[in-house]
Amino acid sequence: MPKHPLNLEDYRQLARLRLPRLVFDYVDGGAEDELTLRRNRAAFEAIRLRPRCLVDVSRRRQATSLFGVAMDMPLLVAPTGLNGMLWPGGDLALARAAARANVPFVVSTAASATIEEVAEAGGNLWFQLYIVSRAMADSLVERALRAGYKTLVLTVDVPVSGKRERDARNGFVQPFRITPSTALDVLGHPRWAWQIARHGAPQLKNMASAEASDIDTQSALLARQMDASFSWDDLRRLRDRWPHRLLVKGVLNAEDAARIAACGVDGIIISNHGGRQLDGASAPIEVLPAMTRAVQLPILLDSGVRRGADVVKALALGASAVLIGRATLYGLGARGEDGAYEVLQLFKSEIDRVQALIGCPDVAGLDATFIDTSQ
């Protein structure tokens, strides 16, 4: 394995070596046959860039702003859960890496650190909300508000949890338990096992608060059993309740996007949950052009982003910014905070190189003219 990773796949392989299989597969895997997981990559790979020549690209700029907040590149660290399994204090490490790179970090409801602990790490912090129960959601929203978060991200593509067969086969459960089969897996990764033993097994800390003290709620939280009744009236109620920026994540239908926009949200995140929910879903990059025609809000995108060229393609097709989830987790799993930061800088350097090669010195100038539409 490479001592000096050159690309994201190198970080992925380093993470695979360091982590037990059940932990790596939790990060790496998708739902059912993983058709959506593969389609996310195939969709990006099918897009061809159309470069321009004789453009002065001696100076190139990745810096941009989103909702009036400056960032060093049009990239965010997506919300992901149980990051403490990859590295002790995983969510705090990601928050610090994002702050070092001057990009937003979206902390998940299913984080291994509390909303308040992550807020103390500083940076441009967003909070992602799962609706497990109405009372719990109200409590989380109030806590995020008190902790100073200015952006709330409501995830709407998890009315039930996707069928992640790798996790089922590996005996992955929450709370974390050691079985004979997982014990052998863990013993084969002594460095990881020592770190977990030293720092304690990760918990869903936002879900283990005083507001979730009854057994039924606690069980639902740990099993990620969402409130499947959450609907349009509830979105409007959340809009009324939250006084700052509100985005809706998990949208793949342009008609839904238009209706969401009419509810007064500030932005939309096109996502299929990284292929971890509905197997056979469209790839976000495929529906991006229809979304940009349907709404005039900032549109962000995640799922399947593995290279700086993917970010450039998404921006050229109308995205305001792109979120990466597994990418920074591979860095975190390989090298902790430094690994996550290195992945962010890798993306920045790849974006920069693609800009030079297609003749676009500023990411603000990316548009559909850089995409080969003859395909």
Report the candidate in 255, 288, 328 with the shortest Cα–Cα distance to residue 106: 328
Q: What mean pLDDT do residues 50-57 have?
A: 98
Q: Cα dist. 349→125, 308, 311 in Å?
A: 23, 8, 12
213 compared with 322, residue with greater pLDDT: 322
Answer yes or no: is pLDDT of 20 > 60.
yes
In whole angstroms, what is the distance from residue 5 CA to residue 3 CA? Answer: 6
In whole angstroms, what is the distance from residue 62 CA to residue 362 CA? Answer: 6
pLDDT score, position 218? 46
Q: Among 190-204, 226-240, 259-273, whose mean pLDDT is lowest?
A: 190-204
pLDDT score, position 202? 85
Portion of the chain with pLDDT greater than 70, in percent: 93
3-state secondary structure of 153: strand
In whole angstroms, what is the distance from residue 239 CA to residue 265 CA? Answer: 7
pLDDT score, position 329? 98
Report the candidate in 312, 316, 308, 314 with the shortest Cα–Cα distance to residue 350: 308
pLDDT score, position 109? 95
Do the beta carbons of residue 92 and residue 121 sit within 8 Å? yes
pLDDT score, position 216? 53
Give pLDDT tens digits for 96-130.
Answer: 999 999 999 999 999 999 999 999 999 999 999 99
Q: Tokens for 11? A: 């970080």
Answer yes or no: is pLDDT of 221 > 60.
no
Answer yes or no: is pLDDT of 222 > 70.
no
Q: Which residues are catalytic?
A: 273
Answer yes or no: is pLDDT of 68 > 70.
yes
Portion of the chain with pLDDT greater than 90, in percent: 83
pLDDT score, position 220? 56
In whole angstroms, what is the distance from residue 279 CA to residue 276 CA? Answer: 7
pLDDT score, position 223? 57
The full 3-state SS of 106-124, as one line of letters, equals EECCCCCCCHHHHHHHCCC
- State the average pLDDT for the chain: 93
In whole angstroms, what is the distance from residue 364 CA to residue 301 CA? Answer: 17
pLDDT score, position 36? 98
187 compared with 149, residue with greater pLDDT: 149
pLDDT score, position 209? 58
